[in-house]
Amino acid sequence: MKLAGALAALVVMAGLAGLAISSATAAPASKPAAQQAGAKQATVKKTAKQAPDKQAAREATAKQAARRPAATRTASKRSPSKDSATPRVAPEAASRDAQAKSKETANGTSKGPSKGTGKPRFASKIPQGGHADAGAAAALAGAGLGAKAVQASLHESAPEPAGTLSIGEAIGLHRVPDPLALRSAVALVVDSRTGEILYDKNSNAVLPIASITKVMTAMVVLDARQPLDEKVVVEDEDRDTERYSASRLPVGTVLTRGELLQLALMSSENRAASALARNYPGGMAAFVTAANRKAAAIGMRDSVFMDGTGLSSSNVSTARDLAVMVAHAARYPLISRYSTASDLSVRTAHGHRTFRTTNRMVGSSDWDLTLQKTGYINESGNCLVMRGSVDGRSLILVLLDSYGRYSRLGDAQRIRRWLEG
């Protein structure tokens, strides 16, 4: 009987040690970074068989627990993960903050179409932050970034199959009701003169912004004061090797910096935006650093930029931050002019081609646009930012993660009709 009891004690001690190791391994999932990542909960496997003598097992367990300090009964050493230096956040969990905001809105805290409900952060002190990925941290050195945006930008940005849920759909933002029944998961309307928020739906959700990124690209390029008439060559490295999207701008095309800037803003040409960023003083790494410094300087606390095109879903922001960006971009006459142009004919490596705007509302008297940009990747859904006027009132409109290509335009019209009363 004594031998049986001793054997049982050894088995139970082994079980306790295994459970402690499993608990310690699963523990990081409760930390904020892992919650942001939306990592799957670890499955704890049983590591010990039931002791044959249950009474002896219970006695041995009690004795063993009494010998150890309380602090050591639930903790053990954990082997470092090979991915611990460069954590990655899954696309379906890009923004815990966005999910929390959607719950608040569902509980009745959404501002909805109410006037005089607050002002966007057009100027505020930016807390210093850092990027968890070692390579990105070097590129983002000196930029003050919000922790939510940094963590949201760390998710994998590999190409996703057609029909994949956007981030907004995956975290339930589309299920948040709004009085206008918009098809966009996020909507924000701001009076550009007073900063008054007129309509707000999930405006703090941190989401991928796709080609809306190109507005920041234009500001950074113009800030560098590089000659707009300087010739720039579209090279092979400007091809989209992340999503393999099509382009009407052949490799080998030689255009002026000004022409590339207009094609990036008006037609959302990715190769044009890539060539601009690549030819920034210091190259692509210097461009990324400059973009994030610019974002921090103007008050975009929850935004991260990782390229100049928006093809990377690690480029993230909020509707409030984008309203700030549009307000500042409107101070650049060329951005206003190029983004609201209807077409541009240029000589490419394959002959003359005419490029047209991606926004059908350009030229419409309904909005009298002074700045606009569209965007789309799988993770972001269809996006739109605009600055225009309704009933003589200057407004900034941000729509993110809309279901269809034209639903963002329909949402803009619904908002306009509501504003007109």
**380: closest CA among 164, 200, 154, 90?**
164
Is 172 buried (19+), middle (13-18) or exposed (0-12) by CB count in 10 A?
Answer: middle
Tokens linked to 130:
């850092």
Out of 95, 157, 192, 268, pick the active-site residue.
Answer: 268
Catalytic status, residue 77: no
Tell me the C-alpha to C-alpha distance, in Å, between residue 336 and each of 261, 273, 333: 12, 17, 5
Q: Given the residues 111, 214, 294, 373, select the one marked as catalytic.
A: 214
8 A C-beta contact, residue 217 and residue 273: yes
214 tagged catalytic: yes
**Range list of H helices, 50-200:** 54-67, 96-104, 134-139, 147-152, 167-170
Place of tokens 């460069």: 86
Q: Which member of 211, 336, 339, 380 is catalytic?
A: 211
Query: Contact, 319 vs 401, CB < 8 A?
Result: no
CB-CB neighbours of 353 under 10 Å: 15
Q: Which residue has the tokens 């903050």?
A: 97
Cα dist from 185 to 171, 291, 404, 415, whole Å: 10, 26, 12, 14
Is there a catalytic annotation at residue 211? yes
Kindly state the tokens that stand for 282. Answer: 């210091």
Active site residue ranges: 211, 214, 268
